[in-house]
């Protein structure tokens, strides 16, 4: 009975309702399509602001030499690259992504930058992380949680593999807190970003999904409550660029 209910259950893929079992493959197709132009599109879509948001995340992580870090949905490796300098040769970074093409692109990019010794690459589903309990000092997921089908399952999985005293940082698009900004952001997202996607990557549909997925993602307070429900403590969030992006942080004690 449980299996039948799950097979019939729906979830959102952007603004479209799809069977739960189909979402992961649909998201995979999106990132297979955009992987080679992912970094370029990030710079163009965010006007370079994604680099500032990620630097803030690194600073808030308080990562130290010798620590073990998991970067989920690590994509092309921006956070992993910065962490590799923070933890040094006595530390270890695992860059994890469910999408094989994104993971390969990230690995090639980091090897080109000369980062080899302290980074490993694992194709992994955030909902069922293939790591031991109490393993990581810090976990990050940047612009990836909104693509996860069962976010609560992913949060519980992250909690499980964190060490006591460890912290989770979630960098994700959120809900603008300034009314005028919200209006301008909607116009830019729906009128311009898909067209940029079509022009630069030849794939308007994938970027239409990406902007829709942002609108379907939980707002700041909702995500904070979800993290608390999964036993994270001292959960806080910091709005960036007027709430277009938020950084959530929680601890396991």
**What's the pLDDT tens digit per position in 136-178?**
999 999 999 999 999 999 999 999 999 999 999 999 999 999 9
In degrees and rounded to multiples of 5, residue 93 shows phi and psi of -115, 135
Fold of 32-176+210-251: Rossmann fold (3.40.50)
Instruction: Tell me how far CA of residue 111 lies from CA of 4, 50, 187, in angstroms.
Output: 45, 22, 38
Q: Is 198 exposed, middle or buried (0-12, 13-18, 19+ CB in 10 A)?
A: middle
Boundaries of every domain in the chain: 32-176+210-251
Q: Is 153 exposed, middle or buried (0-12, 13-18, 19+ CB in 10 A)?
A: middle
The pLDDT assigned to 75 comes to: 85
**What's the pLDDT tens digit per position in 40-73?**
888 888 989 999 999 999 999 999 999 999 999 9
Q: Return all residues near 36 (Cβ < 8 A) that are at least 6 apart.
A: 105, 201
User: What is the rounded CA–CA span in Å between residue 59 and residue 68?
Assistant: 16
**What's the pLDDT tens digit per position in 22-38?**
888 888 777 777 777 77
Roughly what angle, to the nearest 10 degrees, separates helices 78-87 and 49-61? 30
> pLDDT-based confidence at 2, cuts 50/70/90?
very low
User: What is the rounded CA–CA span in Å between residue 83 and residue 219?
Assistant: 27
The pLDDT assigned to 34 comes to: 78
Q: Is 208 exposed, middle or buried (0-12, 13-18, 19+ CB in 10 A)?
A: buried
What is the chain's mean pLDDT, rounded? Answer: 91
> pLDDT-based confidence at 6, cuts 50/70/90?
low
> pLDDT-based confidence at 5, cuts 50/70/90?
very low
When pLDDT is averaged across residues 100-119 and rounded to a whole number, the result is: 91
């Amino acid at each position: 009975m449980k299996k039948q209910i799950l097979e019939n259950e729906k979830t959102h893929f952007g603004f479209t309702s799809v069977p739960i079992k189909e979402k992961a493959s649909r998201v995979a197709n999106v990132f297979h399509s955009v992987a080679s132009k992912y970094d370029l599109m990030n710079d163009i879509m965010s006007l370079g602001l994604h680099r500032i948001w990620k630097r803030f995340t690194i600073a808030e992580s308080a990562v130290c030499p010798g620590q073990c870090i998991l970067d989920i949905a690590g994509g092309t490796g921006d956070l992993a690259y910065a962490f590799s300098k923070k933890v040094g040769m006595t530390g270890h970074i695992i860059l994890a992504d469910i999408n094989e093409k994104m993971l390969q692109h990230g690995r090639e990019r980091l090897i080109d930058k000369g980062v080899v010794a302290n980074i490993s690459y694992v194709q992994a589903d955030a909902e069922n992380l293939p790591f031991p309990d109490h393993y990581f000092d810090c976990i990050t997921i940047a612009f990836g949680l909104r693509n996860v089908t069962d976010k609560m399952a992913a949060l519980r999985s992250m909690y499980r593999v964190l060490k006591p005293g460890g912290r989770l940082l979630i960098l994700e698009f959120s809900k603008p807190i300034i009314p005028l900004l919200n209006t301008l952001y909607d116009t830019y997202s729906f009128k311009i970003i898909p067209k940029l996607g079509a022009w630069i990557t030849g794939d308007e549909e994938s970027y239409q999904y990406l902007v829709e997925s942002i609108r379907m993602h939980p707002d700041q307070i909702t995500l904070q409550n979800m993290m608390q429900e999964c036993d994270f403590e001292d959960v806080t969030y910091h709005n960036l660029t007027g709430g277009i992006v938020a950084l959530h942080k929680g601890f396991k004690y």
